[in-house]
Amino acid sequence: MGLFSFLSQELAIDLGTANTIIIHNDKIVVDEPSIVALDRRSDKLVAIGEKARQMHGKTHDNIYTIRPLRDGVIADFNAAEQMIRGMISMIDTKKRLFTPSLTIVICIPSGSTEVELRAVRDSAEHAGGREVYMIYEPMAAALGIGLDVEAPEGNMVVDIGGGSTEIAVISLGGIVTNKSIRIAGDDLTSDIMEYMRRQHNIKIGERTAEEIKIRVGSALPELENPPADFIVQGPNQMTALPIEVPVSYQEISHCLEKSISKMETAILNALEQTPPELYADIVNNGIYLAGGGALLRGLDKRLSSKLNIPFHIAENPLHAVARGTGIALKNRHRFSFLMR
């Protein structure tokens, strides 16, 4: 590096459906919601990240907000490219005489198709990446949790993001079995929106539903230290007059039941496909939870009692994948599981 380090820049990007995190020099330099606001007439970028999130659901005809990723994959190519480019430019506010060449490691869902992989690679290249490497999300999560992925023993990681839940068994630097389901944080949010409409006759937006999930979300109907009820305000569906409804964690655990059961089934399916020797390792080591969904109250307890295997929550589940992507970036010449 030395003399020419200013000519090149190395970035690790966790391109998530809900949040995008960029790591540069082992530090998280960008942690923003994956959302952009664009001008409807010229398709120019108006705002990005948190600023765009504040506009979400509050825009007029000339501006629209869009989340470029759906279910963990790029749904809108143009918006994704603008978002990656915009977030990279957030890092470097100092004016440079020239743009450094970028080496990027970016993580992708393990169930991605060839087309989806190409979309991610193209977006990163168009945003200025000269060398682009890709790593599967569960592998990045395992590295971020601090597991030795190259050891000859089985470790299971469940990464519950915004758009997809990634379940993988990792051994000897490779993914042995994996299951990627498109049920994750976003589905829990829409379950809550639907429930409030059906049960309480109140219309709420995505942001309010997200807030309810964070404040009183629970995977169990009985918690040791329960959160206080959360007061939701919104229009009554019938009369359009404002109403206030207190929501308890028991209600939310009931309305999330279906989606969480689907996650349980997917974890069981992945365990069924696991070779017996690795299965024994997993029972001994337990299963690791990462991603924002790991923060849902009581989820680890519920899964542990359902599957009779201990579940451990990563110490900072939201940043586990990004941290692992950063580790992969540093060791990119050594790890054989990175894709070019």
- How does strand 69-70 pair with strand 287-290? unpaired
- C-alpha 65, offset from chain centre: 19
Q: Which two tokens stand for residue 176?
A: 């042995």
Instruction: Let me know whether 300 and 193 are in one domain.
Output: no
Q: Is residue 57 part of a domain?
A: yes
Q: Which of 227, 255, 283 represents a domain boundary (last residue)?
A: 255
How much is the pTM? 0.91
Instruction: Let me know whether 211 and 236 are in one domain.
Output: yes
Instruction: Let me know whether 220 and 230 are in one domain.
Output: yes
Structural domain including 204 reads 185-255
**What pLDDT does 103 receive?**
92
Q: Is residue 47 part of a domain?
A: yes
Instruction: Let me know whether 154 and 222 are in one domain.
Output: no
Instruction: Let me know whether 48 and 123 are in one domain.
Output: yes
Instruction: Let me know whether 211 and 86 are in one domain.
Output: no
Residue 206 belongs to domain with CATH number: 3.90.640.10
Q: Is residue 46 part of a domain?
A: yes
Q: Which two tokens stand for residue 54?
A: 């504040």
Structural domain count, the chain: 3
Q: Is residue 145 part of a domain?
A: no
**What pLDDT does 2 receive?**
45
Give the pLDDT of the chain (340 residues) as one tens digit per residue.
444 455 678 999 999 999 999 999 899 999 999 999 999 999 899 999 999 999 988 888 899 999 999 888 889 988 998 999 899 888 865 555 556 788 999 998 888 889 989 988 998 998 888 999 999 999 999 999 999 999 999 999 999 999 999 999 999 999 999 999 999 999 999 999 999 999 999 999 998 999 999 999 999 999 999 999 999 999 999 999 999 999 999 999 999 999 999 999 999 999 999 999 999 999 999 999 999 999 999 999 999 999 999 999 999 999 999 999 999 999 999 888 888 8
Instruction: Let me know whether 104 and 212 are in one domain.
Output: no
Q: Is residue 340 part of a domain?
A: no
**What pLDDT does 3 receive?**
44
Instruction: Let me know whether 8 and 87 are in one domain.
Output: yes
Instruction: Let me know whether 21 and 81 are in one domain.
Output: yes
Residue 270 belongs to domain with CATH number: 3.30.420.40
Instruction: Let me know whether 278 and 305 are in one domain.
Output: yes
Q: Is residue 172 part of a domain?
A: yes
Q: Is residue 64 part of a domain?
A: yes
Q: Is residue 154 part of a domain?
A: yes
**Cα radius of gyration rounded to whole Å, the chain:** 21
Instruction: Let me know whether 169 and 244 are in one domain.
Output: no
